[in-house]
Structures are given as structure tokens and as C-alpha cells.
Structure 1
Amino acid sequence: MRVSRRPRALLASLLLTAALTATACTTGGLTSSSQVTVTVSIGPTSTGPTDGAAPPAASSTPPSSPAAGTSTTSSTPSPPTSQAVITMTPADAATGVPVLQPVTVTATAGTLTEVSLTNPEGKLVAGALAPDQRTWTSSEPLGYARSYLLAATAVDAAGLSTTSSSSFTTVQPVGVIFPSFEPPPDRGQVGIGQPLSVIFDQPPADRAAAERALSVTSDPAVEGAWSWVDERTVHYRPREYWPAGTQITLGANVYGVDLGGGMYGETDRSMSLTIGPAKIATVDNATKQMTVSIDGQVVRSYPVSLGREESTVVDGQEISFVTPSGIYVAQEKYEVKQMSSATYGLPTDYELGYDSAIPLAVRLSNSGIFAHSAPWSVADQGVRNVSHGCINMPPQDAQWFYDTFGFGDIVQVTGTSTQLAPDDGYGDWNVPWEQWVAGSALS
């Protein structure tokens, strides 16, 4: 049977028309499965978009690379970053940082694994990590006018780490002030009347700051207060005499403290003292007797001679020989002391002038009053006052007094016509307590 070619062409045309009609009947840009089957059955598969557009024409030219800034599904993803955040104090590049300000490093959303703070020589500054490992704090003072480097590493819960670093510079003082102690730190034991003195080598402009940097602790605890006696010197004493056996610690924690005018404390200092037995020598001008008690018990009594009730005038200045009444504190001892009247304004060639070697001398005041041996006035002792102001004692009793009394022990003179000045040696006990407390820079 012969078959005409025209019907074949007509069939092909109908199929093509059906396919095109099916492709046009899409919904939401996605083709149905029957439509895909039809499309695939008539030609090669396309990798182009499926949003309803016709596939691109075949080309022998390879596809070009994507333009810069164009995202592609084939790019490499960025590595994950740590969630830990490190915060440092002082801030990076900070200047004028106080040397006592703790340096801190804190980790948020993580824990610290490494922290280092180094000085200009590369030495590590001591510090401690908190138990939860979230905070590190320096534990030693920094140096003046120095630059430091701070570095830290922290990890988050996923084990991812982050690092941070900073640098800063500490305060630069105009100058530094050094505190000295009296009695000196090697004294060890002193008497019940010993005031504690801090002497600054330069006057602190901010006395309140200087005083706040000082501390006194004692066992047993006693009531006491600081009082400034001049622009460089501040004394501490208890309200009453120190109890025998008291243990005392004096501290001057001035390093890093702004003492005013750009001056800072040079260094911290401390010392410890023990209060010895309660030794009090009482001199009664009426009887011309010295009575000595130790721990409340009278142990010795002997005659003395005090300063004569006279005065002289030199170059318009009156010089009195009277021994002032008041409470004295023993402050120096000499087996032999060269004494000259010229030290208090009376020339040695004047009447009553002298320059002599005096045995067994215990200094009681800065103005030159001593308790000492006086073999030349034994006949006057217990009878009349013949000295230039010192307390004359019989040689045998003077030796006992010299051997028994020491720094901080008390000598109290009563019944004379003048009073010991509060600033003459350790005249602190001659200041009423309320007045003493008012001498504090913090009062």
C-alpha cells in the first residue's frame, strides 16, 4: 500500500503545535510534569532558567566568568569567627595612667586563655585570673612615666579564639617626696610616751592626701590621732600613754599618691615597734626630788637641781635658765655630751657661759635640756636650783637613770615658773587632746 508523504508532514506539524501550546500553559513560572515530558520529547535538555523564558540558543563559545561583585552559588564560604569579646582597661593609647590603678582584661561570651602585661624591659607584671576565667587583674603597682604592652587571648563556647592588644603610659610626676620615720625603723622598743613621726623631705602641698596615706595599727587598739607640727612633719600619739607591751605598726603608703602640685610619693615604708615597760620620772621643783616609777611601782627617788630662776639678755634677746614644767620624752643618750651655751645664744665667754664635756646625758628637749650627772652641784641638789636649765643628778643615780631610761620614756617636771613649748622636742603631751586632734589635716 502506498502512503502519501503529506500526511507525515501534517502529523509533525500538529505535534510541534501541541508542544508549543503546552509550554505556554504554565503556572507561577514552574512547568507541570506532563509539560516537561512534552518539552523534553522534542529536543535537547536545557540548563537555563525555569522562569518561563525560552532556553538560550546553542553556542560554540564557552560561557564567560561572572562579573566582579556578582555572587555565585560556587563561591567558598567565610570561616566562622569567635563570639568572644575582649575589653581592656586602661584603653589603648591612654596616657597619665595612675600607677596604682589596676589593669584589667575582661572576656564577654568567652573565657581568657592567656594575658600578658609587660614593662619596657619586657618583664611581666604580676596579675591573677578570676576563677571563672573571665577577668584578669594586675596585682602589683606600675612604674612612673613608663609604657606598658597588654595582650590577651580568649575562646568562645565553640573553641574559636580571638586576640587583642593595647599599650598605655603611666603618669609622670613633677617630682617625688620621701617619708622618713622617727623613731627610726631599727629602734625596736620605745617607751610609753613615744610619738610616731613622719618627716617628708619636701612639704606635701596636699596634707590631707599625705595623711590619708599614713596608718597606725596597734595591739591592743588605742585611740590616737595625727597632728601636723610643721609643714613637713606630722606626729601621731594616743590619747593616753601607750600601754606597756603594745605592738605597733606604722605605715606610709605614699607610692602612687598625688601629694599635690604634681608631686607624688616616692616609695612605701613601714616599721614595727614594741612599747616597753611604763617608765615615768617625776621631778617636783618644790622638793627638788626625782621619783621614778616602773609599771606603776616607785623604784627610786633622789635629789636633783633644776635651772636657776634667772635670765640674761644677749643682743636684745632674753635667755631664761628656768627648767620649764611639762611632760618631756627622752630622745637621745650620750655617755659624754659636749655642751656649749652658744647653741642657745649665750656666748661661752659671757658670764654663765660654758663649753664642757657632760657625762651620762639624756636629751629631753631640742632647746638643750638634758638630765645628766652633775658631780659639781651635789651640795645644791635637793636644796636649790643652780643649773642652766638641765636636771642635775648625783653621779650614782645619774648612772642608774642613764642605764634604765631610754627613748620614749617620760620625765615630768612640775612647779616651775615656765611651761614647755609643744614644739620643743616631743612636747606633744603638753597639747590638750582636743587641740591635738584639731591639728589633723582631716579634721
Structure 2
Amino acid sequence: MTHQFRFAQIAAFLAVGAIALTACSGGSQSATVTVTVAATGPPTAIGPTSTAASALSPASSSPPATGTLARLTSPASSPAATTPVLPTADRPTISTVPTPRATGVSPITPIVVTATAGTLVDLSVTNPAGRLISGDYSTDEKTWTSSEPLAYDRKYSIDAVAATAAGRRSTLTTQFTTVKPAQTVFPSFFPNPKLTTVGIGQPMVVIFDKAPINRAAAEKTLTVTTVPAVKGSWYWWDNRTLHYRPQNYWTPGTKITVAAKVYGVNFGGGMYGEIDRTLNVTVGPAKIAKIDDATKKMQVYIDNKLVRTVPVSLGRNQTLDVNGKKISLVTPSGIYVAQEKYAVRQMSSATYGLPTSYDLGYDSKIPLAVRLSNGGIFIHSAPWSVADQGIRNVSHGCININPAAAQWFYNTFSYGDIVQVTGTSTTLAPTDGFSDWNIPWATWLQGSAL
């Protein structure tokens, strides 16, 4: 139904009301009866703001005062006529969500304008600059719902007109204001969005720039969708960081979408999400390097096929006492995930408390280094220890391999690929780097706030 058609109906109704009625009384006597209709009361915020009173009165008649009732006119000899009252139910009303003049409104809560006992014939919702907010009407045109988010700390205006089929109209003009955050929270991802392919061991990571007060509310904004479908869970690594993984390694070829729909969400204490973000990655081939301290060898498997065996030298079985601090040089056993790659990496023993001036201290440029842990474990080229590789452990904790093998490993392994070390005397801390797979699944599930 078009708005032009409704206005044609209204015009027709008004024209009929202006007709003079003739009543017969005993043959030759006659009287003219004029009907004038006026509003039954003053307009309200959601009621009619104008009536058709003047249009219904003859041109020669003066319109009744606003708020008076319409009366029938008759000859002086006739008894007083009954006053007709138009039922309130015949006039449309307009309601809104949020309510008129509301404050602190969520910018992601849809605006809903509804006409009762009529339909919406005109509507505009505008931002402070006058731009129209997009939305959609219901099939019966009784309801309009916005279809876009609003901005924080803005005043929006609603102007609506509703009408009945008989032409009775109501208008509503009101405003509301959206919430003003005390501070906003921004979500970052790892892998970096530029990394489109990751290994089977790569956890999905979300890092908030501020610690959410309400962890459950923050976690509810995060979703992980996979093709094929696989169940997983979030784990709070610290007060700003969450990791997501399935119970077992990702299946090669899995497509992963991580969504952080934080905008408009209250994280507690006046903190609100700043912007929605999405990450898309695909899981590459299954690459696993298995290192056994007993054999001093690394066997590399790609998609379950052994492709290379490399002699290694691990951290020496030694603990140093430096100014009362115990420093272990043993390479911890556990499941590591490749997380960074450097063609050349400056490394210094001072970073973990061993001064470079000590006998075992160092500060050197190390070639072809692949980081495995935050604690400083790398697989890298070590031409100085080739004679020891496959025989004894002489490193400070890193995994030494020969230059040719190091070049191949550097070119082949990347973010999310797995390195397993077994047989040493210490254990990798489960929160060191991406050591997620060292946490039992039952324990992992307890790390969720939901």
C-alpha cells in the first residue's frame, strides 16, 4: 500500500464530513443538520497532534475551540442533540524502543517504531548530522526496525506519522542518546591477519588492549567457525589474552574464521568494545618434528610421512648458580609450536640472567633461527657444534642443527608447525609461548570464563 493511496483515503473522508444533511419533518418542514468533529482532548507525546476538525466543518462555520466536543445543530424547537464522541481506539498510537528521551542506549540495540491501530505512513530516524538511519518495515507496515549499528555518545531523532484506514493521524517526534563509554577495548589477533596459512598446532589468539572487567561478557563476543566443524574452547592465558584450540591438532585443510563482535558490548565498569574484527586462516599440511634426546636425532614428518632425519645437539645437562639465581641449560621436554622466524637473530645470554662476561656467556648473531618458546628456545643453524650434533648436548638450551639442515628447516617450517622434544630431565612450562598442547583437555576446558 502506497502512502499516496492512504492520503487519498484521508481526503475522501474529509470531503464527506463537510456535506450538509437534510432531515424531513412532517412533509413540508425541513431542517439542516451540520456535523463538526474536533479533537477530544489535547495531544500527547504519542497521540495525535492535529485533527480534521476544520476540514469537517462547513466553510461558513467557525471551527470549535481545540479540545471541545462536536455537537449536532437543529431548529430551536427541536430538543438538544446527543454529542457524538470519536472512540480513542479509532486513533493510532506510536511507541518506540528505546523509549522517548532515553539515555545510555546501547548502540547495537535495534530501534523499533510501532504503530498500534494504524500503519506507519512516514518515518525518519536521523543522526546528529541529519543522515538517515537505515531500516526495514514489517509486511503490514505497522513496525519499522533499524538495520545498522549506531555510534557511541550520540543523540538520535525519531519523527513518525501513523494513520488509520479512516484517515485518523498521529505524529511523534522524540530523541534518545546512546551510551558514552568510560573507555573502549580493542581486540587484536594472532596469527597476524596477513598470515593466511598456519600449521596444525596454531592456537587462535585474541589479545584485548585492556583487561576486561567482565571476562564472561568479553568471551561471549568471540566465536570460532570451522569447515569442517570441530569443537574447541577458549582459555584465558592472562587477564588480556585468550587462546582457542580443539582437543587435538587441527586437521590439514580446515578453514577457520575467528570473529570478535565486541562493538557495543559492555565489558563492565563502563568499558565497551571498540570495533568488530574478523580473522580467516587455513590450516596447512601436518608438519611435526620429533626430537629424541636418547638418539640425539630429529625426525621430520609431513602429512605422516618421514621426510628427513637430522642430528641435533640440545642444551647441556647443567644448572648454573648466578648471583643466587638457578639457571638451567637443559632443553625442556614438551610440545612446542613454531612462532617466529629470523634469517639472523641477535641472541644474548644476559636476557635470561647469565652475564655475557661469564665463561658460558654470549652475545652473538645467530643464523636461520626459528623460535619455539618465549623462554628463548630456538632451532637454529650451529656450524660451531656440528661435530657434537648427534653425539652430545652442548648448547645453552636451543636445538643446534647443521647449516644445510637449518636452511631446509627454516624454509619448510613456519607458524603453527609442531616440534616435540622427549627424553630430557625438565618439562616445558605449559604457558611458555604456544605450549597449549601440553595442557590436558579437561584442564583446558576449565580455563574458559563461560
- Which category describes the TM-score, using the shorter chain as reference length? 0.7 to 0.9
Q: Which residue in 1 is equivalent to 2:216? A: 208
Give the secondary-structure state (helix, strand or coil) at the position aligned to 1:343. helix
Q: How does 1:62-73 map to 2 (within 5 A)?
A: 73=73
Measure how far apart 1:231 and its partner are: 0.8
Measure how far apart 1:140 and its partner are: 1.1
Give me the whole-angstrom Cα distance separating, in 2, the residues matched to 1:232 and 1:185: 19
Measure how far apart 1:228 and its partner are: 0.5
The one-letter amino acid paired with 1:380 is D
Measure how far apart 1:84 and its partner are: 2.2
The match for 2:314 among 297, 301, 306 is 306
Q: Alpha-carbon deviations, 1:212-261, whole Å to 9, x = none?
A: 11000000111210011111111101100000000000011111111011
Give me the whole-angstrom Cα distance separating, in 2, the residues matched to 1:233 and 1:324: 24
Q: Which residue in 2 is equivalent to 1:405? A: 413
Q: How does 1:138-153 map to 2 (within 5 A)?
A: 138-153=146-161
The match for 2:190 among 182, 195, 200 is 182
Measure how far apart 1:72 and its partner are: 7.6
Q: Alpha-carbon deviations, 1:415-436, whole Å to 9, x = none?
A: 0000110111001110000001
Q: Alpha-carbon deviations, 1:242-282, whole Å to 9, x = none?
A: 00000000011111111011111111111100000000000
Give me the whole-angstrom Cα distance separating, in 1, the residues matched to 2:341 and 2:278: 25
The match for 1:164 among 169, 172, 193 is 172
Q: Which residue in 2 is equivalent to 1:17? A: none
- Matched length: 376
Q: Alpha-carbon deviations, 1:12-60, whole Å to 9, x = none?
A: xxxxxxxxxxxxxxxxxxxxx9xxxxxxxxxxxxx9xxxxxxxxxxxxx
The percentage of aligned residue pairs carrying the same residue is 61
Does residue 103 of structure 1 match 2:145? no
Residues 74 and 341 (structure 1), Cα distance of their counterparts in 2 relative to 1, 3 Å cut: farther
Q: How does 1:11-22 map to 2 (within 5 A)?
A: none
Measure how far apart 1:161 and its partner are: 3.3
Measure how far apart 1:159 and its partner are: 3.6
Q: Which residue in 2 is equivalent to 1:19? A: none
Q: Superposition RMSD on alpha carbons, in Å?
A: 2.1
Give the secondary-structure state (helix, strand or coil) at the position aligned to 1:397. helix
Give the secondary-structure state (helix, strand or coil) at the position aligned to 1:94. coil
Measure how far apart 1:160 and its partner are: 3.9
Q: How does 1:31-430 map to 2 (within 5 A)?
A: 73=73, 83-430=91-438
The one-letter amino acid paired with 1:237 is R
Q: Alpha-carbon deviations, 1:113-145, whole Å to 9, x = none?
A: 222111111111111111221110011111111
Residues 338 and 152 (structure 1), Cα distance of their counterparts in 2 relative to 1, 3 Å cut: same
Q: What are structure 1's unaligned runs of at least 5 residues? A: 1-32, 34-46, 48-67
Q: Which residue in 2 is equivalent to 1:38? A: none
Give me the whole-angstrom Cα distance separating, in 2, the residues matched to 1:434 and 1:139: 41
Give me the whole-angstrom Cα distance separating, in 2, the residues matched to 1:237 and 1:184: 17
Q: Which residue in 2 is equivalent to 1:4? A: none
Give me the whole-angstrom Cα distance separating, in 2, the residues matched to 1:103 and 1:295: 52
The one-letter amino acid paired with 1:134 is K
Give the secondary-structure state (helix, strand or coil) at the position aligned to 1:136. strand
Give me the whole-angstrom Cα distance separating, in 2, the residues matched to 1:117 and 1:189: 44
Q: 332-341 vs 103-112, which deviates more?
A: 103-112
Q: Which has the larger radius of gyration?
A: 1
Give the secondary-structure state (helix, strand or coil) at the position aligned to 1:259. strand
Give the secondary-structure state (helix, strand or coil) at the position aligned to 2:234. strand
Give me the whole-angstrom Cα distance separating, in 2, the residues matched to 1:366 and 1:410: 15
Measure how far apart 1:78 and its partner are: 11
Measure how far apart 1:74 and its partner are: 7.2
- Could you list the structure 1 runs, at least 4 aligned residues long, displaced by more than 6 angstroms after superposition: 68-72, 77-82
Give the secondary-structure state (helix, strand or coil) at the position aligned to 2:350. helix
TM-score by length of 2: 0.80
Q: 157-166 vs 169-178, which deviates more?
A: 157-166
